[in-house]
Amino acid sequence: MSISCRFCKHELKDLMLSLGMSPLANSYLKKADLNKMEPTFPLDVYICNRCFLVQLSEYESPENIFSDYAYFSSYSDILLNHAREYAQMIIKRIRLDRHSLVVEVASNDGYLLKNFVAQGIPVLGIEPAENIATAARSKGVPTDVKFFGKATAQTMAQKGQLADLLIGNNVLAHVPDLNDFVEGMKLALKPQGVITMEFPHLLCLMENVQFDTIYHEHFSYFSFLTVDQVFTAHGLEIFDCEAIPTHGGSLRIYAKHKNDNSKSVLARVHSLGDRERDKGLDRLDTYLHFQDKVNANKLAIIQFFVDSKRAGKKIAGYGAAAKAVTLLNFCGIGKDFIDFIADRSPHKQDCYLPGSHIPIVHPDRIKSTKPDYIFIPAWNLQEEIIQQLSFARDWGGKFVVPIPQLEVIG
């Protein structure tokens, strides 16, 4: 059966990367689930040779993935600080006030919008997960429980809820119907409104071998060259962009209606496109060599665990992130190598990682067990995590970061 590109509908023929069979990355298990059949799906990444959108097939519906979700943004100090700084910047840049409306798509637990509420700026969150929306409302963030797309945008327009600022952070990758989503953003935006979106930058993923950021909940992976095509096709124009450090290297883009002449396209937009072309992101062969780099990283990770266990070392993990599921399942690392994985989120504690079934525990377990190595699959938060766990150095504990290449930090 042929597969079509979710943006340009061209037939997908080129496999960029295969990570084997893997469960859904955020489908954390309870103890009662451990003896049940666990569904797994191919984690195969295709590259469209027409528009160069990197993408997965859709094996599970967004409703089944996101309607009850385990990821709460408020448990990362780095993300909280990032959200606060963004809000301060954008309020000044586009002069938001009490007469404005800020809308965030996939607003999670209100970690970002609460910063606008504190400044007296009206907001609306749109979040598909009822459990997470409830947490947002408890912070004073009005939140509608629904998926965003053309239909939702049309309802917003009928209610007079068009956005002066429309935010979509770490959501574009999660959308299987990409065209419906971006068309919805156009419909939900005031004539001179601004869209800002943040998403992991494909260039960083490839240069730093970040294969673990690939999982079924992420349907697409974007270069600037491709996202520019997507927005242009829907009458939107990217007028500014910037690199940001979140999630191992992300892009923030600023977009407007194509016919909005109040904003000029900045030179760095063209510079980024030129940089990606220089790096070969407009050539198919660039993508077809990625598997070899990933396989080499896999061998180094496996070698570390084998050597450490043979030497009698105790290994714990910290950060039950979705990327941990991809990395550990692809590398075949389970309870025989990692005793447990600690996480600050109470929504993950007393659960088990999908596939590997490694137990997720409260961070206090690290103090009581004193592991020799603390493996950090949530490497994008490594500075925060190492600072939180600096006490491990008292017994000679070391930290292990797997990406972009395995590194042991004393």
Those residues with Cβ within 8 angstroms of residue 134's Cβ, 6 or more apart along the chain or in another chain:
none
Among candidate residues 240, 257, 279, the one where a domain is terminated: 279
Q: What is the CATH number of the domain that holds 306?
A: 3.40.50.720
What type of residue sits at position 269?
Answer: V
Reported confidence tier of residue 2, pLDDT bands at 50, 70, 90? confident
Q: What is the mean pLDDT of residues 311-330?
A: 96
User: Which of the listed residues 227, 259, 279 is the one where a domain comes to its end?
Assistant: 279
* 212 and 109 within one domain: yes
* Cα(102)–Cα(88) distance, integer angstroms: 13
Burial category of 209 from C-beta neighbours within 10 Å (exposed 0-12, middle 13-18, buried 19 and up) = middle
Average model confidence (pLDDT) for the chain? 94
Query: Considering 259, 279, 299, which residue would you say is the last residue of a domain?
Result: 279
Specify the residue for token string 């992991």.
Answer: 200
pLDDT of residue 76: 72
Joined together, the tokens standing for residue 45 give 């990444």
Contact indicator for 16, 45 with CB cutoff of 8 Å: yes
In CATH, what number is assigned to the domain containing residue 226?
3.40.50.150
Q: What is the pLDDT of residue 386?
A: 96
Provide the residue type at 297 as one letter: N
Average pLDDT over residues 78-91: 94
Residues 116 and 84 in one domain: yes
132 found inside a domain: yes
Go through the chain and tell me how many residues it has.
410
Q: Is residue 5 part of a domain?
A: no
pLDDT digits (tens, 9 = 90+) for 20-76: 999 999 899 999 999 999 999 999 999 999 999 999 988 776 656 554 544 555 557
Specify the pLDDT at position 63: 57
pLDDT (tens digit per residue) in 251-287 = 999 999 999 999 999 999 999 999 999 999 999 999 9
The Cα diameter of the chain in Å comes to 66
- Contact, 282 vs 229, CB < 8 A? no
pLDDT band at 247 (very low <50, low <70, confident <90, very high): confident
Q: Do 115 and 259 reside in the same domain of the chain?
A: yes
311 and 269 co-located in one domain: no
pLDDT digits (tens, 9 = 90+) for 322-337: 999 999 999 999 999 9
Count of structural domains, the chain: 2
CB 173 within 8 A of CB 222: yes
**Residue 49 placed within a domain:** no
Residue 55 lies in a domain: no
- Predicted confidence band of residue 394 (pLDDT cuts 50, 70, 90): very high
User: 274: part of which helix (H) or strand (E)?
Assistant: helix 267-278
Q: What is the pLDDT of residue 64?
A: 61
Would you state the pLDDT for residue 387? 94
Decide if pLDDT at 347 tops 90: no
Residues 272 and 322 in one domain: no
DSSP 345-377: -TTTTT-B-TTT--BEE-THHHHHH--SEEE-S
Q: Which residues constitute the domain of residue 177?
A: 65-279
| Over residues 362-378, mean pLDDT | 97
Q: What is the pLDDT of residues 207-220, one digit of tens each?
A: 999 999 999 989 99
**Domain match, 152 and 221 both:** yes
For residue 20, being part of any structural domain is answered with no
